[in-house]
Amino acid sequence: MSIHPEQTAASDPRLVRFGRYLADNPVIPLIAFLFFLIGVLEVMRPGIVLPFLGGREGIISTFWVGNLIKFAIPLAMIAACQVLTMLTAGIDLSAGIVATCSAFVCATLMPLMGPVPAVLIAMAVGMIVGLVNGFGVGVVRVHPLIMTLGTGLIATGCLQVYQRFVIATGTEIPAFLEWLGTGRTFAMPNGLFLFVPFAIFVIWLMRATGFGRLLFALGSNEHAAKLSGVRSWQVFLALYALSGLIASVAGLLYLGMIRAPSLSLANPLMLPSVAAAVIGGTSIFGGRGSFAGAIVGALILRVIDTMLTLLQMPEGARIALFGLIILLVTALYVRITGTR
Amino acid sequence: MTRLVQKHAWVLGLLVLLMVLLGITKLIQPSFGATGLESLARAALPFAFATAAMAIVVIVGGIDLSIASMMAVCGVTAAVLMQSMGAVPAIIITLGVGTAMGAINGALIVVTKVPDIVVTLAMLFVWEGVALLILSTPGGNVTDAMQGIIAGSILPGLPMALVVMAVAIALVWMPVRRSKIGLSIYAVGSDELAAFRSGVSVGWTKVVAYALCGLLAAMGGMSLIMLTGIGEPVPGPYLLASVAAVVLGGVVLGGGRGGLLGPIIAVFILRIIRTILTLAAVDPNVTTIVEGVIMVAVVMLGAIVTYRGVRA
Amino acid sequence: MDEVQRDSLLDASGIAKSFGAVRALSDASLHVARGQVVALMGANGAGKSTFVKIITGALRPDSGKVLIRGEEARVGSPAQARRSGLVPVYQEPSLIPDLDVADNLRLGDTPVEPFLNWVNELGVGGLRLDHMIADLPLATLRILDLARALAAEPDVLLLDEMTAALPTDLVENVLRVVRAQADEGRGVIYISHRFTEISELCDSATVLRDGRSVGDLKIEPGVEGRVVEMMLGAKIDLGARETGGARAKEGTPRIRARGLAVAPKVTDVSLDLYPGEVLGVVALEGQGQDEVFDVLAGFRRPTSGTFEVDGSPVSFGHPADAISAGLTFVPGDRAEALLRERSVHENIALPFSARVGSWGPLKARHERERVGHAIDKLQIDTRAKGEVQRLSGGNQQKVTIGRWLAHGVETLLLFDPTRGIDVRTKRQIYPLVRELADQGAAVLFYTSELEEVPLACDRAVVIFNGRVVDVIDAAEADEETLMRAAYGLTEDKAAS
């Protein structure tokens, strides 16, 4: 509610223009920032990125770069859930739990029915949670934060009950997931075989389809979308189902990477995924966002992670820092654009 | 007038529902008595404080997603402090810490103009991190005297924990409720523009409401360590539970209406459902699911009511 | 000189205020002396509401001063304005709906005894202090607002459309009490559309037009004509009408509405809109035209009445239903219709993707053609096409119309499409509207600027107080006739 219009009016026009430029092309400065961080990392621990500086073979450590990309991939995929939902001014806090659920379901069903049904059922699990989210957000109009938090809680409970029934069967990981998760081709992680098409799909969906246009429209001005004949509940239902599906695919990939299914496997990806999307220039208030930015955001977070580990920062500092990043970037966005 | 009657009718209805549920419990488990009530009241304690805290910010028209994290910070703070000092100074310091955290939340919302839901989401992580920094694994020390506060019953059927909770919340809320600042909290939640035009300082009112939320969250955090005897840095499931109890308790999301009594009765209703399910030998994990479904359903119902209210 | 200063209660002079590129006020002044009731008048968009906000401290002026009792008032908030002696009663109730009367009084530090006396004096009986505000009828709330203001014993009382929601007997009480206040030496600023009240109550009138004060008139018999003249001012040439006069009404009307009512504002609206016709809607602000357009556009259902499109009865639950029936709506507030941070192309092409069947890949060429056609047709300046919010107001408005042009127009509902846009754009919009009608579209056209009615419309319905009170031949009507009609001055004729 803007009760003090006189206070919100004036921001420095140059700051506004600069902010707009950044908002239009978030990827360029982000990549610059990524390289800056890598530079700092190199200074902190000479030779980690550029082995010859540490007196070892090689100009660039392909192993290190491959590792960076490998661990950024599942994060970037979950960040896709956040980018897509945040375009409509929503959020999907159940994404981490959904990823965990589908990974666990897949690993436990694998010995019983083989890889293909196990993977398909795991993906169906993600979609079902997503549909429930979409129903709550689009039809009942619960705030997406509360709704996805609630379904996440229920999904956790279901997973615990489910675990009781399958505890005897043991777990097994489909071979192709392991290949995707841990294998390398030319020193680059095989996960890229999944991720590159996925990223192209998400970017295509956002930019070149009617559905993508509606996501931007709903986040920018839901009233205007309604005026143009958009029934928003349909979009929300499809959106959250898609988000659930993406989360479950990310969970499967992560399963192949970690190779140890547990009841909290992908949960730690939750907070960084929101941070990656926000850093990548996606507005939490909707209407503006870029998946390319979120990918760079995920890489940046992984580099920061490495730095914090080098500094022997405790886990708490990491979480608090990510929280502060989200708040700072958002506050800056509000300050620069004057919108909420 | 009718609304006044309606409001009380809702709280009364909740009270009747609670009695019925207590009756059912007694039916399922004839030995359910004073000790059963005691353990129920003790288990409900942190939920009740979290709910009271959430109710105040919802009344002012906001929401605080960082409640569980603030409780964790206060829990570990108190547990760590008690290793080196007496219970009383530790409690006082912890209450101060909670109030300060709440005030920071409120001030950030007012100053940055970022919506409450986003600020408190970010602060959820910040406070969680802070809790882990204070104590990276469960630990600390809770004096026996403190744990003793909520044990036993004052009179048969009147658990000590219930009395402690009622007194603590009343001490915070009663002076506020009928004062000018209490009125302002309701006014801002009800109609921010009209409140501004009536001369209310909207920003200040919000900061106070969030600070009160932090104070109650501190009590919640301390009740948590009284129950377990140990400081736990990982936030518990209090966010959704408190939102659900607040909605069920008749506080409209969006603000301006309701009080603290309804939500607290709602806490007991939600808790006793858990007791009943446990007594009926339902798998505790299934109980968690049932509870989750009930809470989501309640919140959905609240959303429908709010949505209709806005449209009408 | 001393005499004047002692008598002067409120002096606002040279007030200017801009919102971005829009200049809401350029040189507004108002003087209120002891014992005076001054009417503040102006047509829609003259800057009245901005002026009120500045006087009451809700907005800060870009330049100019507000002096209260000769001292510069540092009004940063309504609370400060109140302390300095000016108490406003706003157009919409500003009591807290979820608190009872007593708590509302406590919140604003209003003394209870005088408040209750005033409530009695104003003729509202049976009020209890524990009544919830949300349960009280609107008329009572207006009275409580006034009583609360009176109890604060202000030097200057500002009443903004105080009587709009009141029944006649309460209006009389209000006028009597306010007059008595002035006679006791207070100053009153009275804002109203109703000439009868103004001539009964006020001593003088200050007329605002296009953001400046254009004159102070003494209220005397026959002053209405001069006020209307001043509000209209010297005309800017909006161009001449290019196409012919009223068309014959034949065949089935595109829209036929009978006895539409939307509680509480609209009580009885019937109209027929034929293909090939531009039907004007003449109404002052808030006479129920908003609700009528909402019903036609599918945003809300009427409380009663029937509504047919091409002869078959319809009931819209969502704007999508209206669009399927060919009814497309351009709202008055551009902000409601635009995706501010998205491109011109995306804004215009939005309806193409609305249905689930069109969620797939965008048909780029098809879209470019249709959107390009609309942009050419409307001559939209696309230099800043990357973000609609960077366009000028006029171009933004063209985008909202262009959306339906690209989509295809059968029935166009235009709600005040020329509000706050430049003359050049206006001149482009009227011929466009006429052309659409010539091509067989039916257009319903509400405008807050009466001089547009003869330029664009064939016929016009006059809505006053929620009812259609008159249907006039728009091409023939001069502006004074329209203004009188809008102010309900011809209501007697219509009723008889």
What are the residue boundaries of the structural domains of chain B, listed by start? 34-269
Q: Are A133 and A151 in contact (CB under 8 A)?
A: yes
The alpha carbon of residue A340 is apart from the nearest alpha carbon of chain B, in Å, by 7
Beta bridge partners of C257: C271, C307
What is A274-296 written as a DSSP string? HHHHHHTT--TTSS---HHHHHH
Check CB contact under 8 Å for C107 and B200. yes
Q: Which residue of B197, B201, B306 is the best one to mutate when testing the C interface, meaning the one whose CB has the most C CBs within 10 A?
A: B197
Size of interface B-C (CB pairs under 8 A): 68
Residues B74-88, mean pLDDT to the nearest whole number = 89
Q: Which residue of B108, B121, B248 is the best one to mutate when testing the A interface, meaning the one whose CB has the most A CBs within 10 A?
A: B121
Of C331, C359, C386, the CB nearest to A209: C359
C241 within some domain? no
Give the Cα-Cα-Cα angle A217, A283, B210 (nearest 5 degrees): 115
> SS3 helix, strand, coil % of chain B, rounded to 5?
75, 0, 20
Please report residues of B whose CB lies closer than 8 A to that of A164: 283, 285
Please report residues of A whose CB lies closer than 8 A to that of B80: none
- Is C170 found in the same domain as C298? no
pLDDT at A211: 95
In this prediction the pTM is 0.81
The alpha carbon of residue B149 is apart from the nearest alpha carbon of chain A, in Å, by 31
Beta-carbon contacts of residue A169 (< 8 Å; ≥ 6 apart): A108, A111, A112
pLDDT at A1: 34
Task: Using CA coordinates, name the residue in chain A closest to B127.
Answer: A320
Residues B202-230, mean pLDDT to the nearest whole number = 93
Q: Does B288 lie at the interface with A, CB-CB under 8 angstroms? A: yes
The alpha carbon of residue B155 is apart from the nearest alpha carbon of chain A, in Å, by 37
- Is C260 found in the same domain as C218? no
C239 within some domain? no
Between the alpha carbon of residue C476 and those of residues C244, C277, C335, the distances in Å are 11, 15, 34
Task: Using CA coordinates, name the residue in chain B closest to A330.
Answer: B114
Tokens for C367?
């879209």
Query: B279-306 pLDDT, tens per residue?
Result: 888 888 888 888 888 888 888 888 777 6
pLDDT at B310: 44
The alpha carbon of residue A211 is apart from the nearest alpha carbon of chain C, in Å, by 4
C-alpha R_g of chain C? 24
Domain of residue C327, residue span: 255-352+362-495
Phi, psi of C313, rounded to the nearest 5 degrees:
-65, 140
Q: Which residue of B104, B206, B285 is the best one to mutate when testing the A interface, meaning the one whose CB has the most A CBs within 10 A?
A: B285
Domain boundary among C171, C197, C232: C232
C67 within some domain? yes
Helix/strand/coil for C425: helix
**Would the pLDDT of A24 be above 60?**
yes
Of C79, C90, C135, the CB nearest to B1: C135
Q: Does B114 lie at the interface with A, CB-CB under 8 angstroms? A: yes
Closest CA to A164 of A264, A251, A98, A263: A263
The burial of A172, by beta-carbon neighbours within 10 Å (0-12 exposed, 13-18 middle, 19 or more buried), is given as middle
What is A214-230 written as a DSSP string? HHHHHHH-HHHHHHTT-
Task: Using CA coordinates, name the residue in chain A closest to C404.
Answer: A228
pLDDT at A19: 65
Structural domains of chain A, ranges and CATH numbers in brackets: 25-37+61-337 (1.10.3470)
Check CB contact under 8 Å for B283 and A164. yes
- Is C342 found in the same domain as C438? yes
Q: Up-side HSE of residue C206: CA atoms within 13 Å toward CB?
A: 25
Check CB contact under 8 Å for A211 and C331. no
- Which B residues 174-203 touch C at CB under 8 Å? 180, 183-184, 186-187, 189-191, 193-201
Neighbours of B280 (CB within 10 A): 12
Phi, psi of A314, rounded to the nearest 5 degrees:
-70, 160
- Which A residues 155-214 touch B at CB under 8 Å? 156-158, 160-161, 164
Of B113, B129, B296, the CB nearest to A320: B129
Task: Using CA coordinates, name the residue in chain B closest to A161.
Answer: B285
Q: Which residue of C92, C107, C318 is the best one to mutate when testing the B interface, meaning the one whose CB has the most B CBs within 10 A?
A: C107
Q: Which residue of A153, A236, A267, A308 is the best one to mutate when testing the B interface, meaning the one whose CB has the most B CBs within 10 A?
A: A153
pLDDT at A16: 64
Closest CA to A223 of A278, A286, A146: A286
Sequence-ordered strand ranges (E) for B24-179:
153-155, 158-159
- Is C216 found in the same domain as C322? no
Round to whole Å and give the CA distance between B220 and C135: 37
pLDDT at C494: 41
Round to whole Å and give the CA distance between B38 and B185: 34
> SS3 helix, strand, coil % of chain C, rounded to 5?
40, 25, 35
Tokens for C258?
């009978």
Tokens for B107?
């001030």
The alpha carbon of residue B47 is apart from the nearest alpha carbon of chain C, in Å, by 27
Amino acid residing at B178: R
Q: Does C79 lie at the interface with A, CB-CB under 8 angstroms? A: no
C245 within some domain? no
Round to whole Å and give the CA distance between A83 and A274: 8
Please report residues of C whose CB lies closer than 8 A to that of A17: none
Tokens for C293?
């357009």
**Would the pLDDT of A240 be above 70?**
yes
Q: Does A139 lie at the interface with B, CB-CB under 8 angstroms? A: no
Please count the structural domains in chain C: 2
Place of tokens 């700092």: A40
Helix/strand/coil for C449: coil
Check CB contact under 8 Å for B237 and A8. no
Mean pLDDT of chain A: 85
Check CB contact under 8 Å for A220 and C340. yes
Amino acid residing at C104: N
Q: Could you give the percent of chain B with pLDDT greater than 70?
A: 96
Q: Name the residue with higher pLDDT: B25 or A131.
A: A131
Per-residue pLDDT of chain C (496 residues; tens, 9 = 90+): 344 445 788 888 888 888 766 678 888 888 888 888 999 887 766 788 788 888 887 778 888 888 887 777 666 677 777 777 888 888 777 889 888 899 888 888 888 888 999 988 888 888 888 888 888 888 888 889 999 989 888 888 898 888 777 777 888 888 999 999 889 888 999 988 777 788 888 888 888 888 888 888 888 777 777 777 777 665 555 565 555 544 556 678 899 999 999 887 888 999 999 988 899 998 887 788 889 999 999 998 999 998 899 989 998 999 999 999 999 999 888 888 898 888 899 999 999 988 888 898 888 888 899 999 999 888 887 777 778 887 777 888 889 999 998 988 889 999 988 876 777 778 788 888 888 888 888 999 998 777 788 888 888 899 988 888 888 887 777 777 787 777 776 544 443 3
Check CB contact under 8 Å for C349 and A213. yes
- Is C426 found in the same domain as C488? yes
Beta-carbon contacts of residue A308 (< 8 Å; ≥ 6 apart): A317, A318, A321
Q: Name the residue with higher pLDDT: A22 or C294.
A: C294
Q: State the CATH number of the domain containing residue C190.
A: 3.40.50.300
Helix/strand/coil for C463: strand
Please report residues of C whose CB lies closer than 8 A to that of A238: 359
Domain boundary among C199, C232, C265: C232
Check CB contact under 8 Å for C96 and B197. no
pLDDT at B206: 95
Domain boundary among C197, C232, C267: C232
- Is C156 found in the same domain as C261? no
Tokens for B75?
């829990």
C237 within some domain? no
Q: Does C53 lie at the interface with B, CB-CB under 8 angstroms? A: no
What is C356-396 written as a DSSP string? GGG-SB--HHHHHHHHHHHHHHHT---TTTT-GGGS-HHHH
**Would the pLDDT of B237 be above 90?**
no
**Would the pLDDT of A290 be above 50?**
yes
Place of tokens 């909520």: B150
C246 within some domain? no
**Would the pLDDT of A136 be above 80?**
yes
Helix/strand/coil for C304: strand
Closest CA to B212 of B182, B233, B234: B182
Q: Are B72 and B221 in contact (CB under 8 A)?
A: yes
C8 within some domain? yes
Size of interface A-C (CB pairs under 8 A): 95
Q: Name the residue with higher pLDDT: C199 or A80.
A: A80
Lowest mean pLDDT among A189-193, B147-151, C196-200: B147-151
Residues B245-259, mean pLDDT to the nearest whole number = 83
Helix (H) or strand (E) holding B10, with range, is helix B2-28
